[in-house]
């Protein structure tokens, strides 16, 4: 009995959850009439039909298909599958390559030339509907914008929406004015966050202000009364992108909404932002933070990042908790640690525990044992793949017999193609496993020689490059609690170094 799955979807375009029940009911009745066994049902709720890659259930169905869990996918109609021609045919090709076919509960589409033509027409109609709906929606949003009406989303802090129009929220607006005044008065983002917290101001969701939230507020020209819409094409970057990225239908209306700060105050703030961006090069000097991505705050679990300060023309570099840095009022107890202290402690441990002959002999012994176990494991994998290959070859032979008997439809040929691909893949895997099994176990002298060559390479590099190589190869992570370092090393890279 052929194994079938049902896929159902509803989007936000005038559909409700109840439409899922109707789709599943129709697909179930269709499967019963065909004598199919339903093995699973995939449902995406409130998901667009334009991009299958953004649908969780659809992605799960593709993954299950790769594991040969079913033979047929049943949709209610083509538009429940996809409303994008490229997505439709790419995913259909993936399914066909796996020997899986599409069927539709209420649309008669077969493999005949007429059926394929009908399928192409229905796919095009579904795509047209989606694009036209988006066009009409965009047209309505543009009209709202010209009327200076709220177009959805979350209004900026300091405003509330009344009858689709922006109205100043006086309590929140006080925080906005204070942010601009403090920034123009040359207070740092960190100082502004602390002052706002001391006065009891928070973001709209009740969280402390972060440096990023301040940056976004200071750059938002709505606060001086300018209304904008369509600043950049959808999905093409940040909302405050440079004007060169703006689409043709970008809308900008001066003095269109109530201003919380004057244009003069807003321009002063922008001038200071430009000064910050154009600071002298010495403030932007490149510092190699070698532990970046591997150093963790032991107090709150956040990543730690590099931070450089330059008082009196001398630079000092530290690692500090990024969560605490991002939100200055966050009550993380972590203290900064000097960059040099942290990195030297890690390098010293690597040299003491890995890069010395005594430690290395222990590692080499473990490697030999691991190599022997790996060979046994490879033997088992080869036997397993060989069994799979025998089954795939038998399946292909049976399919050829069907063709000889006159059963030569598209489904049979797709199954033959899938079986051939499986055979080719298994044969390649078996050859790779056999080659890896031929690798010889190195002698102590060969291991020692490889180890010495690696040490010579490290010594020939400049100090920063050598340290970076050692950290990248052997450091798993380092957890910092105040000035105490918990360093976790990994010797997995040793095998690759020696084999080379």
Does residue 486 have a pLDDT over 90? yes
pLDDT band at residue 500, thresholds of 50, 70 and 90?
very low
Sequence-ordered list of residues with C-beta below 8 angstroms from that of 317, at least 6 positions apart, any chain: 287, 289, 306, 307, 308, 338, 339, 340
Secondary structure E strands in 154-276: 159-162, 165-168, 227-229, 251-253
Q: State the fold for domain 159-278.
A: Hect, E3 ligase catalytic domain fold (3.90.1750)
Mean pLDDT of the chain, nearest integer: 81
Burial 157-184 (b: 16+ CB within 10 A, else e): bbbeeeeeebeebeebbebbeebbebbb
Domains 3-137 and 159-278 share a fold: no
Fold of 3-137: Rossmann fold (3.40.50)
Give 290-304 pLDDT, tens digit per residue.
898 899 999 988 888
Residue 54 per-residue DSSP state: G
Instruction: Output the pTM of the full model.
Output: 0.47
Task: Count how many residues are written for the chain.
Answer: 500
Q: Is residue 168 scored above 90 in pLDDT?
A: yes
Residue 443: per-residue pLDDT: 63
Q: What is the DSSP letter of 208?
A: P
Domain spans, the chain: 3-137, 159-278, 287-500
What are the pLDDT digits (tens) for 176-195?
A: 999 999 999 888 888 898 88
Mean pLDDT of all residues in 31-35 = 93
Range among 41-50, 272-281, 343-352, 456-465 rated most confident: 343-352
Look at residue 19 in the predicted model and tell me its pLDDT: 80
SS3 162: strand
Q: Averaged over 334-343, what is the pLDDT? A: 90
């Amino acid at each position: 009995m052929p194994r079938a799955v049902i896929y159902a979807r509803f989007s936000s375009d005038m559909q409700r959850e109840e439409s899922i029940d109707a789709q599943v009911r129709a697909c179930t009745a269709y499967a019963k009439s065909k004598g199919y066994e339903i093995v699973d049902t995939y449902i995406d709720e409130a998901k667009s039909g334009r991009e299958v890659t953004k649908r969780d259930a659809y992605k799960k169905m593709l993954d299950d298909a790769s594991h040969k869990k079913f033979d047929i996918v049943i949709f209610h109609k083509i538009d429940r599958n996809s409303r994008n021609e490229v997505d439709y045919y790419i995913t259909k090709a993936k399914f066909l390559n796996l020997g899986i076919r599409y069927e539709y509960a209420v649309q008669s589409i077969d493999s005949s030339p007429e059926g394929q033509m009908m399928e192409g027409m229905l796919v095009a109609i579904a795509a047209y509907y989606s694009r036209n709906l988006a066009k009409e929606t965009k047209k309505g949003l543009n009209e709202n914008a010209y009327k200076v009406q709220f177009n959805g989303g979350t209004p900026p802090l300091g405003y509330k929406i009344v009858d689709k129009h922006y109205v100043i929220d006086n309590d929140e607006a006080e925080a906005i004015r204070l942010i601009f005044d403090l920034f123009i008065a040359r207070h740092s983002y960190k100082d502004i966050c602390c002052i706002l917290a001391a006065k009891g101001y928070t973001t709209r969701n009740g969280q402390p202000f972060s440096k990023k939230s301040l940056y976004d507020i200071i750059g938002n020209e709505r606060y001086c009364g300018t209304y904008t819409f369509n600043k950049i094409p959808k999905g093409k970057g940040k909302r405050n992108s440079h004007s060169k990225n703006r689409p043709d239908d970008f809308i900008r209306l001066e003095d269109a909404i109530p201003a919380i700060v004057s244009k003069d105050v807003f321009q002063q703030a922008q001038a200071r932002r430009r000064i910050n961006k154009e600071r002298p090069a010495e403030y932007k000097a490149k510092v190699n933070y070698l532990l970046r991505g591997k150093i963790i705050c032991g107090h709150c679990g956040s990543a730690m990042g590099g931070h450089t300060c330059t008082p009196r023309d001398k630079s000092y570099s530290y690692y500090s908790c990024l969560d605490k840095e991002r939100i200055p009022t966050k009550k993380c107890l972590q203290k900064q640690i000097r960059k040099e202290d942290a990195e030297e402690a890690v390098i010293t441990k690597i040299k003491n525990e890995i890069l010395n002959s005594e430690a290395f002999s222990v590692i080499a012994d473990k490697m030999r044992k691991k190599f022997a176990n790996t060979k046994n494991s490879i033997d088992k994998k080869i036997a397993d793949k060989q069994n799979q290959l025998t089954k795939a070859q038998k399946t292909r032979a049976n399919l050829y017999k069907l063709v000889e008997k006159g059963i030569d439809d598209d489904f049979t040929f797709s199954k033959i193609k899938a079986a051939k691909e499986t055979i080719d893949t298994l044969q390649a895997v078996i050859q790779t496993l056999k080659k890896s099994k031929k690798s010889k176990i190195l002698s102590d002298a060969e291991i020692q020689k490889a180890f010495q060559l690696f040490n010579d390479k490290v010594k020939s590099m400049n100090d920063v490059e050598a340290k970076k190589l050692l950290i990248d190869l052997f450091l798993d992570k380092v957890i910092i609690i105040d000035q105490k370092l918990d360093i976790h090393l990994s010797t997995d890279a040793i095998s690759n170094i020696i084999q080379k």
